[in-house]
């Protein structure tokens, strides 16, 4: 297990990497020129660093993002550093089922392979509000949006595996915050209720859902015999735009826990490791911290809860989808 000593010192775990490893270091020497990856929220924070490093390794990167203008600026920044980079931008609002469906259609129309899907985008500690589809916004953006996006793109990834023989990889960005959720894990009967809403627990609930989604999807793919892995990661504590709703609190905490925080290149390392490293071939339904496998909470390992969330997510999407 990756302990507090390893976190503070950066001492490497069994993988040879640790909390101080950067995304470039964990992907050194890996050739991704035959790969195409979609990265949600790939225009800022650790998403941008993930996009940059994958592009550096030759991967064709598709950035799915709500702010297309900002994403195009990020693309220019990457191309300035890496002239041979292949980066494209497609609009994607994970808070909108209509936008998610349009993104999937637009990507499929490009007739590209899909080897890697990184469900990176997210929001954090938001005051209570509902998405345009009427779903609590953190659950909508962090879980439901990625759940639907993954489902819409899964056939494309399966076909890519059949055509290329290259294993597909799906990476869900979760968080250690999945341990701080509501009683019983998910508020299935009150998912969109303002009563009892807590911004921190709602975030933890959505991050728990990311792990449960990865585990249940992995189980289903294994039953089908599909060569696609699904894992979840905790990137670490990084001061990024995610903290815009609680910047004062986070700066206060950072002052007293500076030794636990990572910079952005370190924060993107675990995502890039799980998405690209050959050592992870065939490894699925695992949770990674600092590029090493770690045991998540008991709720996150609850197979019955994962199945219940899977069915609940489908029903929720169907209930709010409009023709």
Residue 211 sits at the vertex; the CA angle it makes with 101 and 247, to the nearest 5 degrees, is 85
Structure token digits, residue 295: 């045991």
Contact call for residues 11 and 2 (beta carbons, < 8 A): no
Domain that holds residue 207: 21-321
- The average confidence (pLDDT) of the chain is 91
pLDDT digits (tens, 9 = 90+) for 284-294: 999 999 999 99
d(CA 185, CA 188): 9
Q: Which of 197, 273, 287, 299 is catalytic?
A: 197
> Mean of the pLDDT values across residues 139-152?
98
Residue 94 covered by a domain: yes
CA pair distance 172, 271, nearest whole angstrom:
9
Say if CB 295 and CB 204 are below 8 A apart: no
The CATH number of the domain where 203 resides is what?
Answer: 3.40.50.720
182 is catalytic: no
Quick check: is 227 in a domain?
A: yes
* 7 is a domain residue: no
Domain tally for the chain?
Answer: 1
Q: Specify the length of the chain in residues.
A: 323
| Within a domain: 178 | yes
**Three-state secondary structure readout of 275-291:** HHCHHHCCCCCCEEECC
Q: Please state, in angstroms and rounded to a whole number, the distance separating the CA atoms of residues 138 and 140.
A: 5
Q: Which of 41-50, 254-263, 266-275 has the lowest mean pLDDT?
A: 254-263
Q: Taking the model in full, what pTM does it have?
A: 0.92
Whether residue 11 is contained in a domain is answered as no
* 3 state DSSP class of 309: helix
Domain membership flag for residue 6: no
Q: Which class for 29: exposed (0-12), middle (13-18), buried (19 or more C-beta within 10 A)?
A: exposed
The per-residue pLDDT for 322 is 62
Examine the pLDDT at 127 and tell me if it is beyond 70: yes
| Residue linked to tokens 């050592």 | 279
172 located within any domain? yes
- In this prediction, residue 105 carries a pLDDT of 98
Residues in Cβ contact with 204 at an 8 Å cutoff, skipping those fewer than 6 apart: 175, 177, 178, 179, 180, 181, 182
Rounded CA-CA distance 308/186 in Å is 10
Residue 14 included in any domain = no
pLDDT at 243: 44
CA distance 46 to 66: 16
Instruction: Tokens 């950066």: give the residue.
Output: 10
């Amino acid at each position: 297990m990756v302990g507090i000593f390893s976190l503070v010192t950066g001492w490497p775990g069994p993988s040879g990497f640790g909390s101080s490893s950067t995304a470039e270091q964990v992907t050194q020497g890996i050739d991704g020129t035959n790969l195409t990856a979609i990265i949600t929220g790939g225009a800022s924070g650790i998403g941008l660093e993930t996009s940059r490093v994958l592009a550096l390794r030759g991967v064709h990167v598709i950035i799915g993002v709500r702010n297309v203008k900002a994403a195009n600026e990020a693309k220019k920044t990457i191309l300035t550093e890496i002239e041979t980079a292949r980066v494209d931008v497609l609009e994607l609002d994970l808070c909108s089922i209509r936008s998610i469906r349009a993104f999937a259609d637009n990507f499929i129309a490009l007739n590209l392979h899909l080897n890697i899907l990184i469900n990176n985008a997210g929001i954090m500690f938001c005051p209570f509000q509902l998405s345009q589809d009427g779903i609590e916004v953190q659950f909508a953006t962090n879980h439901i949006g990625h759940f639907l996006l993954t489902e819409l793109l899964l056939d494309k990834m399966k076909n890519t595996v059949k055509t290329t023989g290259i294993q597909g990889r799906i990476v869900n960005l979760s968080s250690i915050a999945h341990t701080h959720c509501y009683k019983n894990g998910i508020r299935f009967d009150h998912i969109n209720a303002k009563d009892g809403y807590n911004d921190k627990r709602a975030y933890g609930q959505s991050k728990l859902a990311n792990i449960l989604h990865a585990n249940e999807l992995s189980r289903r793919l294994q039953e089908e015999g599909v060569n696609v892995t699904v894992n979840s990661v905790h990137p670490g504590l990084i001061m990024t735009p995610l903290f815009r709703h609680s910047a004062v609190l986070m700066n206060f905490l950072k002052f007293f826990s500076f030794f636990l925080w990572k910079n952005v290149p370190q924060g993107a390392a675990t995502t890039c490791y799980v998405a690209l490293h050959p050592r992870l071939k065939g490894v699925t339904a695992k949770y990674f911290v600092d590029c090493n496998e770690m045991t998540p909470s008991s709720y996150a390992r609850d197979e019955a809860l994962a199945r219940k969330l899977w069915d609940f997510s489908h029903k929720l999407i169907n209930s709010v989808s409009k023709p």
